Amino acid sequence: MIEAGKLTEEFGSLVFNDKIMRERLPKDIYKAVHKTIEKGTHLELDVANCVAAVMKEWAIENGATHFTHWFQPMTGLTAEKHDSFISPSDDGTIIMEFSGKELVKGEPDASSFPSGGLRATFEARGYTAWDPSSPAFIKDGSLYIPTAFCSYGGEALDKKTPLLRSMEALSEESVKMLHLLGYKDVARVSTTIGSEQEYFLIDKDFYKKRKDLLLTGRTLIGAPATKGQEMEDHYFGVIKPKVSAYMHDLDEELWKLGIPAKTKHNEVAPSQHELAPVFETANIAVDHNQLTMEVMKKVADKHNYACLLHEKPFEGINGSGKHNNWSVCTDTGMNLLDPGKTPAENIPFLVFLTAVIAAVDEYAPILRLSVASAGNDHRLGGNEAPPAIISIFVGDELAEVLQSVVDGTDYQSAAKVQMSMGATVLPHFTKDNTDRNRTSPFAFTGNKFEFRMPGSAVSVANANIVLNTAVAEEVAKLYAKLSGYGPEELKKNIKDILRQTLEAHKRVLFNGNGYTDEWVEEAAKRGLPNLKSLPDAMPYWISDQSIDLFTRHHIFTKEEIHSRYEILLENYSKSIHIESLTMQEMVRKDLTEGIVAYQKDLSKEVVQKKELLGDGSCKLELGLLKALDDASFKMGQALTKLSDDTKTAEGLTENLEAASYYQATVLADMDELRKYADEAEALIPEKYLSYPTYGQMLFSLR
Ligand code: ADP
Ligand code: MG
């Protein structure tokens, strides 16, 4: 346990961070590495050799015997292969070695990672390349080196490579724009991300007894508990002692890894919680979020919990997301989405805000796709999560500022209102000019946007790749319109250019309640896409618009786009396939076993009781027997249909066709089967079930 007084020393104690490098690297080497990190310049091998030697010493001092290139293949998880530092000598002893070459390049076999057809099976070689902009760290006795992963032919096979490319694209276009606007000292712009992570904790023993949770991460059957989240008593509720101990342990593990865990609280659903870190540069934030998810699970295991990261582990109560707080910041310290005191006069802010609005409207289908997965599709459009329609909340004050740009009028800022709560002992403070909005998928929150659609289980890289690239594109378009003007003319015309862009995209702005049916209708009238599932959205990924966007900014080649298309579809179908088989097995074996045992006992009871009390008795037992018989009959029919349709799905070889079939038919079959399974389960006493119920799982945390 870290003592509170030691926290400043212990934070990042397992990280090869800037401070360690400054202390341990020769000055010129440190400068070279620093330049690479800050400016994105190329790193020479002699520098790498020196860094490797110092890194090895530091790692060994901190208990590492191995090193690993750590990367993020298209599985959505992380991958690692460990090599020890040992090198045998002639005299039977060993020395510990680690070269610059080993630091900068790895050669994992790429043939067992998803490639979506990019790599023929005989081309097994892949490469990992050190990403010096994300610090190495020590975990479980190994030195972890964050790396990018590509095929023998140089195509990206991971999430980091396109993320880094998209950050560079946005930087390049933004710097050009800022120079035009007179901010000549800006050399680089970076995206910052703070991703709030939601999760569920349940008792590990319960978890182990549920095949659906073990194999698919979500419950596939399960009658609702008699209590759900209707009392609104969990959000920000008192954290129970055992859960609090878990959260404390989790914070400490994260802090040691240099992850700035900041906020923790109970979430809306029972047994649901959230952790939010302080924001960081996008690339590091994405790495840290991957690590956070892993550490959450590991620490949970120690505390006899299972940590569920699935987007919809339980039917009928809130699912989990990963709010992606996103902003753009210059190397001179300017947050380009900070409106300042006079937003209407803040030209860089208005330019970037306009670019974001245009980007989100123009590329809504691709942005929707960036958060699509079999898991997240269950959450989006549910009663608790943003709908699949993408709109932007800017709040009243900014809406007025934007309107004044559109109308060509001067904006008068409303005077700040003093807040008084009616009791003099309470402090007075000024009220924010804008309320919060919790239903918008893409909300302006003061000096950043909060993209609330990403799912809890997946990497946030995809969402940020699309966001960065789309905004880069819109900044570039604005630049093209503005760059012909001299400085004086620019001042005169800039609002007019912004007005044109805002006019074209204002349909995406919506300050109301995004969870209502009226909004779904209104959005359709405005022509905003409502792409409910991954297969619905997928064709947009390979559209000309998408290919133009990503190839123009060198984020993906056409081949890489197509490979990702195949991978996403395949993953989707595979997930539902596994769910279908798991559900069939649970119904056929576990639930049926419970139904049969209970029916048997009830029948025995009826026979015995009737002997004693005569024919008029046993009304309750007979009613239960009949209800169970009805439900299990329908359950049997639905099971047969699911089984048949799943076999049909297995025969479909074209990826989009298969995914669409899984979505439209297999998922619908699963819903139908679940209806009767849950009806039956609700009638059976818990002791007849080999797996725990919703009530047991959701309300047992102490
Ligand atoms: P809320 O609870 O309303 O969602 P918070 O103020 O707790 O909002 O912040 C949520 C997240 O936004 C935190 O992770 C925070 O670090 C992050 N954040 C704050 N400023 C920025 C920024 N400029 N860029 C990216 N993320 C930011
Ligand atoms: Mg939030």
Residue 37 has pLDDT above 80, yes or no: yes
In a domain, 561, yes or no: no
**pTM beyond 0.85, yes or no:** yes
Cα separation, 676 vs 674, whole angstroms: 6
Confidence of residue 24 (pLDDT cuts 50, 70, 90): very high
Pair 318, 229: CB distance under 8 Å: yes
Average pLDDT over residues 528-547: 96
Task: Give the residue from 499, 523, 555 where a domain finishes.
Answer: 555
> What percent of the chain is predicted at pLDDT more than 70?
97
Q: Pull the structure tokens for residue 648.
A: 């049909």
* 422 within a domain of the structure (yes/no): no
Regarding whether 176 and 242 lie in a shared domain, the answer is: no
Dist. CA 196 → ligand 2 center (Å): 7
Strand-pair partners of 86: 96
- CA 273 to ligand 2 centroid distance, Å: 13
- First-last CA distance in the chain: 21
Residue nearest to atom 8 of ligand 1 (CA): 445
Q: Are 115 and 14 found together in one domain? A: yes
Q: Is residue 662 part of a domain?
A: yes
Atom of ligand 1 nearest to the CA of 276: 14
589 CA → ligand 2 middle, Å: 42
DSSP 8-state class, residue 459 = -
Mutation test of ligand 1: which of 189, 281, 325 has the most ligand atoms closer than 8 Å to its C-beta?
325
The verdict on 525 and 389 lying in the same domain is yes
In the structure, what pLDDT confidence band is assigned to residue 432 with cuts at 50, 70 and 90? Answer: low
Q: What is the pLDDT of residue 117?
A: 78
Encoding tokens for residue 275?
Answer: 């952790």
| Average pLDDT of every residue of the chain | 93
* pLDDT of 417 higher than 90: no
Nearest CA residue ID for atom 14, ligand 1: 194
Q: Which of 319, 362, 584 lies closest to 466 in space, CA to CA?
A: 362
pLDDT interval class at 410 (50, 70, 90): confident
pLDDT at residue 230 in the model: 79
Same domain, residue pair 211 and 302: yes
How far, in Å, is the centroid of ligand 1 from the Cα of 518?
30
Q: CATH code at 666?
A: 1.20.120.1560
Please tell me the least confidently modeled range out of 326-330, 431-435, 624-628.
431-435
Q: Are residue 149 and residue 166 in the same domain, yes or no?
A: no
Using the 3D structure, point to which of 502, 524, 555 is the last residue of a domain: 555
Q: Is residue 471 part of a domain?
A: yes
Judging by beta carbons within 10 Å of its beta carbon (0-12, 13-18, 19+), is residue 651 exposed, middle or buried? exposed
Higher pLDDT among residues 579 and 408, named by residue:
579
251-255, 405-409, 548-552, 621-625: least confident range: 405-409
Q: Which domain holds residue 337?
A: 160-193+332-414+429-555
Please tell me the predicted confidence (pLDDT) of residue 415: 64
Do 623 and 523 lie in a common domain? Answer: no
Q: Which atom of ligand 1 is nearest to the CA of 445?
A: 3
Phi and psi, residue 651, nearest 5° = -85, -10
13-27, 222-236, 544-558, range with the lowest pLDDT: 222-236
Question: Which residue, judged by its Cα, is nearest atom 19 of ligand 1?
Answer: 279
Nearest CA to ligand 1 atom 11: 194
**CA 194 to centroid of ligand 1, rounded, Å:** 6
| C-alpha 276 – ligand 2 centre gap (Å) | 8
Q: Residue 122: what pLDDT?
A: 57
Distance CA(364)–CA(527), nearest Å, equals 11
Q: Are 264 and 273 in contact (CB under 8 A)?
A: yes
- Residue 269: pLDDT band by 50, 70, 90 thresholds? confident
- For ligand 1, what atom is nearest to the CA of residue 263? 7
Cβ atoms within 10 A of the Cβ of 304, count? 12
Residues 152 and 185 in one domain: no
Q: What is the pLDDT of residues 481-515, one digit of tens each?
A: 999 998 899 988 999 999 999 999 999 999 988 88
β-bridge pairing 189-203 and 272-277: antiparallel
Residues 538 and 647 in one domain: no
Cα–Cα distance for residue pair 159/165, rounded to 1 Å: 10
- Per-residue pLDDT at 121 exceeds 60: no
Q: Look at the chain and report how many structural domains it folds into.
A: 4
Q: Is 419 inside any structural domain?
A: no
Cα 359 to ligand 1 centre (Å): 21
Identify any residues that bridge with 326 across adjacent strands, giving them in sequence order.
193, 449
Give pLDDT, residue 431.
67
Listed residues: CB within 5 A of ion ligand 2: 323
Same domain, 120 and 164: no
**Boundary of a domain, candidates 520, 555, 590:** 555
Does a structural domain hold residue 205?
yes
Q: How far is the CA of 639 from the centre of ligand 1 (A)?
A: 46
CA distances from 48 to 27, 41, 52, 291, 612 (A): 14, 13, 6, 25, 89
Q: What is the mean pLDDT of residues 617-627?
A: 94
464 and 393 within one domain: yes
Q: How many percent of the chain have pLDDT more than 90?
A: 78
Instruction: Answer whether residue 564 is part of any domain.
Output: no
According to the per-residue pLDDT averaged within each range, which of 204-208, 385-389, 443-447 is highest? 204-208
Q: Which long-range contacts (CB under 8 A, 24 or more apart) does 663-666 make?
A: 663/377, 663/533, 663/534, 663/535, 663/536, 663/572, 663/576, 666/576, 666/577, 666/580, 666/642
Do residue 17 and residue 149 come from a single domain?
A: yes
> Is there a domain that residue 48 lies in?
yes
pLDDT of residue 235: 83
Residues 276-315 have pLDDT tens digits of 999 999 999 999 999 999 999 999 999 999 999 999 999 9
Q: What is the pLDDT of residue 76?
A: 83
- Using the predicted structure, report yes or no on whether residue 414 has a pLDDT greater than 70: no
Nearest atom in ligand 1 to 446's CA: 20
Query: Does pLDDT of 435 surpass 80?
Result: no
Q: Given a cut of 90, is residue 273 above it in pLDDT?
A: yes
| pLDDT interval class at 383 (50, 70, 90) | low
Q: Hey, is 86 helix, strand or coil?
A: strand
- CA-193 nearest atom, ligand 1: 25
pLDDT per position as a tens digit, 336-349: 999 998 888 899 99
Question: Are β-strands 392-393 and 442-444 bridged in parallel, bridged antiparallel, or unpaired?
Answer: parallel
- The Cβ of residue 157 has, within 10 Å, a number of other Cβ atoms equal to 27
* Residues 358, 473: Cα–Cα separation, whole Å: 10
Average pLDDT over residues 261-274: 92
pLDDT tens, residue by residue, 448-465: 999 999 999 999 999 999
- What is the pLDDT at residue 513? 87
Residue 145 has pLDDT above 70, yes or no: yes
Residues 487 and 373 in one domain: yes
**Who lines ligand 1 at CB under 6 A?**
192-194, 196, 263, 276-279, 323, 325-327, 335, 445, 447-448, 450
CATH number at residue 16: 3.10.20.70
The closest-lying atom of ligand 1 relative to the alpha carbon of residue 323 is 4
Of 100 and 268, the one with more pLDDT: 100
Which listed ligand is nearest to 446 at the C-alpha?
Answer: 1
